[in-house]
Amino acid sequence: MKTVQDRINKSVTRIFKAVFPNTTNHYDTLFGGTALQLMDEVAFICATRFSRKRMVTVSSDRVDFEHPIPAGTLIELVATVVEVGTKSLKIQVDIFLEEMYEEQRYKAIQGIFTFVAIDEDRMPIPVIDA
């Protein structure tokens, strides 16, 4: 039987994207809404991999946009389970910025997303079977 820590370790989810001009604003940086969409998606994948149940987003807590993400860079989104409740999970998502042609890398955005496990009738159920 998997322990909670085993599940957390195996559910860490990483996605890489290139930041192209069609995802940027008039300042030539990644739209905040696009960043939030990507963060919610990777958090959903992480939550699903952890629980192997239907999961839905119920909230996004504080999201800190620490550095702008310019077009022509690479980003890595990393989602990790940071809290396990009875029927919910908190997932931390970090977005790291990488220059395409340099070794520079740093955290640009961080946020927390809460997910709830649901059954076929969309009613909350335990995240982990007892």
pTM of the predicted protein model: 0.94
Confidence of residue 129 (pLDDT cuts 50, 70, 90): confident
pLDDT confidence of residue 2: 76
Structural domain contains residue 126: no
Q: What is the reported pLDDT for 19?
A: 97
Give the per-residue pLDDT at 54.
97
Q: Provide mean pLDDT across the span 7-15.
A: 97
* pLDDT of amino acid 1: 60
Token digits of residue 57: 């987003």
Range of the structural domain that residue 47 is part of: 4-118
Instruction: Evaluate whether residue 64 is within a structural domain.
Output: yes
Q: Find out whether 73 and 21 touch, Cβ atoms under 8 Å.
A: no
What is the spatial distance between Cα 79 and Cα 7, in angstroms, rounded to a whole number?
Answer: 13
Q: Does 92 fall in a domain?
A: yes
Q: Which residue type does 91 have?
A: I
| Amino acid 50: pLDDT | 97
The pLDDT tens digits of the residues spanning 47-91 come to 999 999 999 999 999 999 999 999 999 999 999 999 999 999 999
In the chain, how many domains are there? Answer: 1
